[in-house]
Amino acid sequence: MPTIDEILSQLSRSTFRQRFCLGRVEYDYCLNKGEAVVRQHASDFIQQRLSAAIPANDGKQTPMRGHPVFIAQHATATCCRGCLSQWHGIPQNQPMTAEQQALAVEVISAWIHRQMQKPALPPKKTIKKKAKPDASGQLDLL
Ligand SMILES: [Zn+2]
């Protein structure tokens, strides 16, 4: 069985998978919650959204944003049963075993851990609206 390191380096050779990275909001979320809590969330998501033989909405059950684990799932091909089957050899149409779920959580946590070793991205720039000088408004007051 490949090690987590081997799995991650294989994934990083996929142009699609390696596009994913933690944004500043997700990065800060991990910092605040701590990796143990985030790992627990990963375990819950896998159990609730993926572990059934035929999960609800399979293929679309993992949002592209909103939680660091979601992003990690796309990055590590643990987002749906199709990807789990293709990348991790976990067969579809049957419930995931405890070991298979643990492997998915392991890969997700390792990916997040690596992301957290990098410096945080700068916060997203909010574009400030330029206040329009409005001479007519001034005149109306007079
Ligand atoms: Zn998928």
Tell me the CA–centroid distance for residue 83 and ligand 1, in Å.
4
Considering the domain boundaries, does residue 137 fall inside one? no
Centre of ligand 1 from the C-alpha of residue 87, in Å: 10
Domain contains 82: yes
138 occurs within a structural domain:
no
pTM for the predicted model, two decimal places: 0.85
**Does the residue 133 lie in any domain?**
no
CA neighbor of 71 nearest in space, from 8, 29, 21? 21
Let me know how long the chain is. 142
- What's the Cα-to-Cα distance from 100 to each of 23, 52, 88, 105, rounded to whole Å? 28, 12, 9, 9
Question: Residue holding tokens 């007519």?
Answer: 136
Tokens of 28: 């800060």
141 located within any domain: no
Per-residue pLDDT of the chain (142 residues; tens, 9 = 90+): 889 999 999 999 999 999 999 999 999 999 999 999 999 999 999 999 999 999 999 999 999 999 999 999 999 999 999 999 999 999 999 999 999 999 999 999 999 999 999 998 887 766 666 666 655 555 555 5
122 CA → ligand 1 middle, Å: 28
Residue with structure tokens 């329009």?
A: 132
Number of domains in the chain: 1
Tell me the residue range of the domain where 35 lies.
4-124
On whether residue 68 sits in a domain, the answer given is yes
